[in-house]
Amino acid sequence: MSEYVTLTIDGVEVKAPVGSTVLEAAKSAGIKIPTLCFLKDINGIGACRMCIVDVGARSFQAACMYPVSEGLKVITNSPKIRETRRVTLELILSSHEKKCLTCVRNRSCELQKLASDFNIKDIRFEGELQNYPIDDLSPSIVRDPNKCILCRRCVSVCKNIQTVSAIETNDRGFNTIISSPFHMPLKDTPCVNCGQCITACPVGALREKSSIEKVWDALSRKDLHVVAQTAPAVRAAIGEEFGYPIGTPVTGKMVAAIKKLGFAKVFDTDTAADLTIMEEGTELVDRIKNSGKLPLITSCSPGWIKFCEHNYPDMLDNLSTCKSPQNMFGALLKSYYAEKMGIDPSKIFVVSIMPCTAKKFEAQRPELASTGYPDVDEVLTTRELAEMIMEAGIDFRNLKDENFDDPMGEATGAGVIFGATGGVMEAALRSLPYFLTGKDDENIDIHVVRGVEGIKEAELEIAGIKVKAAVAHGLGNARMLMDKVKSGEADYHFIEIMACPGGCVCGGGQPIQPASVINEIDLKAERAKAIYQEDKNLSLRRSHHNPRVLKMYEEYFEKPGSHKSHKLLHTHYIARENYPEDKCGQ
Amino acid sequence: MSCGCCCADNKTLELNKIIAKYKDTRGALIPVLHEAQELYGYLPMSVQKKIAEGLNVSLADVYGVVTFYTQFSINPKGKYKINVCLGTACYVKGAGEIFDKISEILKIKNGECTEDGIFSLDACRCVGACGLAPVIMINEDVYGRLTADDIPGIIKKYIDKESDAK
């Protein structure tokens, strides 16, 4: 059997690999078939029937599932096919809550786009609207089943990519609903708040819990010193909301826009990322030298942390005790910065701008308030920041670039690359020789830990020690890696895990790209380019060279791992039961 | 009436046996759910949770299957299980009114059970007695060619039976 088959699509002869689908074959021949529920590598179940084609069978078949075969004749476009697709679309629309003007996905909705593409001017069917309650009890994610079109993209990403399985397709027929078991609020499930369901959703059925109103309120209060911190992945993607090509870093304009919104100061979370490397690197060296618990696993990703608390409660000691950069920075602002500037910490309002929905949950963790005040007061996603900029009528594209504010403005390239998978590992490896020997080695671009492969492994010899490292992104990959570690099959020193596939650049709070884009390009790789470009442009690229961070130690923390840094920059974790009995509302 | 939640230790042991019996077979979930429902009368969350843990699948998976198939119930069933056929023939012969009448008398909705645990009410698909439409079944008893006016008398029969037993 040859590896390829030849088929005919709309009269065009196409060669396609055995095992591929008609949809893939058509794409390779430049023939477009409309899709809705299909999401490359995530969902291909033929649920929505928009991609139906004529393969000479008794009924039309879904191109996203139908396998190619030798001599197959496919017709993708005929009056009958168009009419069938149209009826299907009208039926989907008939029971959809069509409040487009006030929908969070207005103008970025894939259903709206299809209705426009199909030239739908009238919906012939009046479907029943269910009037489901909206679940907005999670600090991160809001679910509105009234807008849901049952495409199951969210279910698939939650179950197959993240292996969290907090939601499923429940009940049947007209009563079918995507929900958690027993329709529990998401907050009572093992949901880790990663928000991958939001970025997979073609419509407005899933969105982040908005903090915009609270931030506007804080900004209007004269008694508050409202400061912003922005994570590295935000600058790599927010440009997309203002028409820049994917992968364009817009750091200067982003800072300028945030200042225009009325923030007193705009800081770079990357400074805290550098601080994280100082603390975590020291922790790693300590554990290696003093036979501590290994492997040490990174703790920057709050989705990963909650996943670990639910699924590997016996391995919480492997997690680095370092707070995430967001919370380190918050704690710094309400201690070091407050003292230095002579501001009452109760009057400092910290807004962090994150590519992440899980950061909203993290900010509310009660143990993350070591100064006596919450480290972070509110978290905005990249999308929410873009919404605020638009709401304020700021002409983003014509802003003059501005710099982050002092005294914590400077960060190194190592801090920047925290935003992509492998970045925390690379940053740590750039500083590890210094922590072990007091001297840097020549390694600065550590390509082996970069890239979008699910699990990456590296073995580097540093100061006579063979350091074994592994990197996983996406929680399904994390689970695989953790199971290997648990069974004793792997003996790493250091593991980096990020909850979202691709790392923070593809976090659940990032601009939403439609399936038409995600199915064509690797968003993870494209956005990471912006991060690595920014790193390359910086003169300082090792965390322990950051003069601001060194000064912080000199003036305040004394040294990494000191008593004071443990009080302010480190934390602990909680074993969490999946579906605890007291939450079983029966 | 046993609540089937956590107090019935013998049942837990039985459930563990059921899970152990199917644990390593493909497609174990549905047979386990069937036997668990036979054991408990219904499938409360605590039972679904044990099944999920035992078979190493997510609770979301279990719940999705339980709610997809009408033969599984997440609510307890009454001592007398009333099934009202809403198949096509019964429906056109007025089964809807009969269903509403029962619901009104017992003050329970579809899938629910009376507080005293005596009656539960379910709408079901064709029971294969279309000649007798509209049809209801109470446990194994079949009542056919009904009108809504017949309902109070039928229900009373079972209430009397209960008070006699006491």
Smallest CA–CA distance from A581 into chain B, residue = B46
Lowest mean pLDDT among A309-323, A374-388, A394-408: A394-408
Last residue of a domain, one of A42, A61, A92: A92
Would residue A356 count as lying in a domain?
Answer: yes
For residue A225, give the CATH number of its domain.
Answer: 3.40.50.1780
CA–CA min distance A177, chain B (Å):
10
Looking at residue A462, its pLDDT comes to 87
Q: Which residues of B touch A170 (CB under 8 A)?
A: 63-64, 67-68
- Cβ-contact A345, A497 below 8 angstroms: no
Residues A544 and A415 grouped into a single domain: yes
CATH number at residue A63: 3.10.20.740
The whole-number pLDDT of residue A59 equals: 95
pLDDT, position B8? 56
The answer to whether residues A259 and A407 belong to one domain is yes
Q: Which pLDDT tens digit goes with each residue over A194-208?
A: 999 999 999 999 999
> Which carries the bigger pLDDT value, residue A107 or residue A383?
A383
Closest-CA residue to A303 (of A450, A117, A473):
A473
Cβ-nearest to A169 among B48, B64, B74 = B64
Domain match, A196 and A218 both: no
**Tokens, residue A335:** 């201690």
Cβ contact (<8 Å) for A181 and B74? no
pLDDT class of A130 with cuts at 50, 70, 90: confident
Question: CA-to-CA distance for A27 and A520, rounded, in angstroms?
Answer: 10
Average pLDDT over residues B114-133: 92
3-state class (DSSP) for residue A326: helix
Domain assignment of residue A586, yes or no:
no
Task: Please tell me the predicted confidence (pLDDT) of residue B4.
Answer: 47
A407/A477 same-domain check: yes
Q: Is the dihedral of CA B82, B83, B86, B88 positive or negative?
A: negative
Q: A199 with A217, same domain?
A: no
On the question of pLDDT at B2 being above 60, the answer is no
Query: Looking at the domain assignment, is residue A551 inside a domain?
Result: yes
Whether A197 and A67 share a structural domain? no
DSSP chain B: ----SSS-HHHHHHHHHHHHHHTTSTT-HHHHHHHHHHHHSS--HHHHHHHHHHHT--HHHHHHHHHHSTT--SSPPPSEEEEEE-SHHHHHTTHHHHHHHHHHHHT--TT-B-TTSSEEEEEES--S-GGG-S-EEETTEEE-S--GGGHHHHHHHHHHHHHHH-
Structure tokens, A255: 């800072």
Taking residues A141-169, report their average pLDDT. 97
Task: Determine, yes or no, domain membership for A578.
Answer: no
Count of alpha carbons within 13 angstroms of residue A431, beta-carbon side: 30
What is the domain partition of chain B in residue ranges? Answer: 9-68, 80-165
**Residue A170 belongs to a domain:** yes
Whether the pLDDT of residue B1 is over 50: the answer is no
Which of A26, A59, A92 corresponds to the end of one domain?
A: A92
Domain with residue A152: its CATH number is 3.30.70.20
Biggest alpha carbon–alpha carbon distance for chain A:
78
- Mutate which of B45, B57, B71 to disrupt the A interface (most A C-beta within 10 Å)? B45
- Does a structural domain hold residue A241? yes
List the catalytic residues of A: 280, 283, 300, 320, 359, 362, 367, 504
Element (H, E) at A207: strand A206-208
| pTM of this structure | 0.92
In whole angstroms, what is the distance from residue A437 CA to residue A425 CA? Answer: 19
Together in a domain, A271 and A402: yes
Pairwise CB contact (< 8 Å): A159 & B5: no
Asked if residue A78 has pLDDT above 90, the reply is yes
Cα–Cα distance between A453 and A336 in angstroms, integer? 39
| Average pLDDT over every residue of A503-529 | 96
Residue A1: per-residue pLDDT: 52
Domain identity same for A103 and A63? no
pLDDT in tens, A229-238: 999 999 999 9
Same domain, A191 and A265: no
- Residues in chain A within 8 Å Cβ distance of B63: 168, 170, 181-182
Residue A261 has pLDDT above 50, yes or no: yes
Tokens 């499923």 map to which residue?
A168
* Residue A72 shares a structural domain with residue A152: no
A583 pLDDT band, cuts 50/70/90, is low
Q: Do A160 and A195 sit in the same domain of this protein?
A: yes
In a domain, A15, yes or no: yes
Instruction: Answer whether residue A451 shows pLDDT above 60.
Output: yes
Residue A2 banded pLDDT, cuts 50, 70, 90: low
Q: pLDDT grade, residue A141 (50/70/90)?
A: very high
Q: Kindly tell me the burial class for residue A523, based on how many C-beta atoms sit within 10 Å of its own C-beta (0-12, 13-18, 19 or more).
A: buried
CA A283 to chain centre: 26
Q: Which structure tokens are listed for A295? A: 């492997």
Least CB-CB distance to A586: which of B45, B61, B68?
A: B45
Q: Which CATH class is domain B80-165?
A: alpha beta
Tell me the residue range of the domain where A547 lies.
Answer: 212-569
Look at residue A333 in the predicted model and tell me its pLDDT. Answer: 96
pLDDT digits (tens, 9 = 90+) for B47-64: 999 999 999 999 999 999
> Hey, which residues does A332 pair with through a beta bridge?
none
Say which range, A55-64, A379-388, B1-10, has the weakest mean pLDDT.
B1-10
Which DSSP symbol is given to A157? Answer: I
Cα distance between residue B138 and residue B121, in whole Å? 9
Evaluate if residue A506 carries a pLDDT over 60: yes
> Residue B6: pLDDT above 70?
no
Query: What is the distance in angstroms between the Cα of A166 and the nearest Cα belonging to chain B?
Result: 6
Of the partner residues B6, B44, B60, the one whose CB lies closest to the CB of residue A168: B60
Residue A522 buriedness (CB in 10 A; 0-12 / 13-18 / 19+): middle
Q: Are A40 and A183 contained in the same domain?
A: no
Answer for the pair B68, A171: CB distance below 8 angstroms, yes or no: yes
Closest CA to B87 of B117, B30, B129: B129
**What is the ipTM for the molecules in this complex?**
0.90
Average pLDDT over residues B75-81: 91
Whether the pLDDT of residue A585 is over 80: the answer is: no
Number of domains in chain A: 3
The single-letter code of the amino acid at A186 is L
A579 in any annotated domain: no
Report CB contact under 8 Å: B64, A170.
yes
Residues of A with Cβ-Cβ distance to B29 under 8 angstroms: none
* Minimum-distance CB partner of B60 among A181, A581, A586: A181
The mean predicted confidence, pLDDT, of chain A is 95
The pLDDT of A272-295, averaged and rounded, is 95
Using the predicted structure, report yes or no on whether residue A529 has a pLDDT greater than 80: yes
Give contacts of A584 with chain B, Cβ < 8 Å.
45-46, 49
